[in-house]
Amino acid sequence: MNLESERAALMQTSRDWARTAASGDLEQTLSFWSDDAIVMPPGQSAVVGKAAIREFLQRTSTIPGFSITWEPEQATVANDADLGFMVERNRVTSAEATGAIREQFGKAVTVWRKDSMGRWKCVVDTWNENPTEVAIPL
Amino acid sequence: MNLESERAALMQTSRDWARTAASGDLEQTLSFWSDDAIVMPPGQSAVVGKAAIREFLQRTSTIPGFSITWEPEQATVANDADLGFMVERNRVTSAEATGAIREQFGKAVTVWRKDSMGRWKCVVDTWNENPTEVAIPL
């Protein structure tokens, strides 16, 4: 098992996912999660399973000025390369009542499981805010 | 590899850790993290490494009315039982200016790595808030 190439594959998957999310393609964006994935957004209940995550994405996309992007910082995989996780940093935007765009920087943890086809799928996805003063622009 | 017993060991480790944290024993509480652990609290920068986590715990313990407890909901381990993760729910208290105790319920993800002695150590620890209306008392 080449763990270095597995780590690189995870990092690339995160970057591909961010590009897909930015494109607005909902079904392609959803395809990066496993069917049983758990999304844990700040201030909201956990969102469990693909159908609930689809609704969550649809709801989120209606937020004025909404955008999200992220960049992986590090990836770790298990010896058997069946499980892995990444630490990522992200940037979320939304429009204030004045129309001004507000930026919120955060940090994320994603856990990944390899499926029967050998593809890494995200099984847990959570994030929270950084203080503004340590925001790292992407 | 008996994955069921490894999962049970992780769940028990989480419960032991919550009890240790409640006892106020700082060094015992710290011993559940790996030396290179990353703690990612909401609204704060990531806290990286045992020394920084010690300072974080010391700072947190001075918050009036502060307490934290948690309960694991599920544990998953890799085929080789070298890496695993848990989804947990937590309850944090702090005192308002009036002295009234405020409860905040949240959800957490912890990632675990087995060390050279075969002990599970927490390598990533992050959480965020739930909306009050879905608070589940522990």
**Is residue A107 scored above 90 in pLDDT?**
yes
Q: Which of B6, B80, B113, B136 to mutate to test the interface with A (most CBs of A within 10 A)?
A: B80
* Single-letter residue type at A35: D
Contact state of A44 with B87 under an 8 Å Cβ cutoff: no
Higher pLDDT, A111 or B96: A111
Contact state of A126 with B107 under an 8 Å Cβ cutoff: yes
**Is residue A69 scored above 90 in pLDDT?**
yes
Q: Quick check: B63 contacting A, CB < 8 Å?
A: no
Q: Quick check: A43 contacting B, CB < 8 Å?
A: yes
Least Cα separation, residue A23 to chain B (angstroms): 28
The C-alpha atoms of residue A69 and residue A21 are separated, in whole angstroms, by 8
Chain segment A12-37, per-residue pLDDT in tens: 999 999 999 999 999 999 999 999 99
- Contact of B120 with B114, CB cutoff 8 Å: yes
- Contact of A40 with B86, CB cutoff 8 Å: no
Of B58, B53, B15, B20, residue with least CA distance to B35: B53
What is the model's pLDDT at position A133?
56
Size of interface A-B (CB pairs under 8 A): 93
ipTM: 0.93
Q: Quick check: A25 contacting B, CB < 8 Å?
A: no
Least Cα separation, residue B136 to chain A (angstroms): 11
What is the model's pLDDT at position B133?
55
Q: Quick check: A130 contacting B, CB < 8 Å?
A: yes
What is the model's pLDDT at position B80?
97
What is the model's pLDDT at position A1?
76
What is the model's pLDDT at position B85?
98
Mean pLDDT on B52-67:
96
Whole-angstrom CA distances from A72 to A87, B27, B104 are: 6, 32, 29
Q: Quick check: B121 contacting A, CB < 8 Å?
A: no
What is the model's pLDDT at position A134?
52
Question: Please, which residues bridge with residue B76 across strands?
Answer: B85
- Categorize the per-residue pLDDT at A105 as very low, low, confident or very high, splitting at 50, 70 and 90: very high
Contacts of A80 in chain B (CB under 8 A): 78-80
Kindly state the percentage of chain B with pLDDT values over 70.
Answer: 96
Contacts of A7 in chain B (CB under 8 A): none
What is the model's pLDDT at position A39?
98
Chain segment B13-46, per-residue pLDDT in tens: 999 999 999 999 999 999 999 999 999 999 999 9
The C-alpha atoms of residue A83 and residue A91 are separated, in whole angstroms, by 26
- Domains belonging to chain A, first-starting first, are 3-62+72-88+107-134 (3.10.450.50)
Contact state of B85 with A85 under an 8 Å Cβ cutoff: yes
Contacts of B44 in chain A (CB under 8 A): 130-131
Arithmetic mean of pLDDT over chain A: 94
Contact state of A109 with B40 under an 8 Å Cβ cutoff: yes
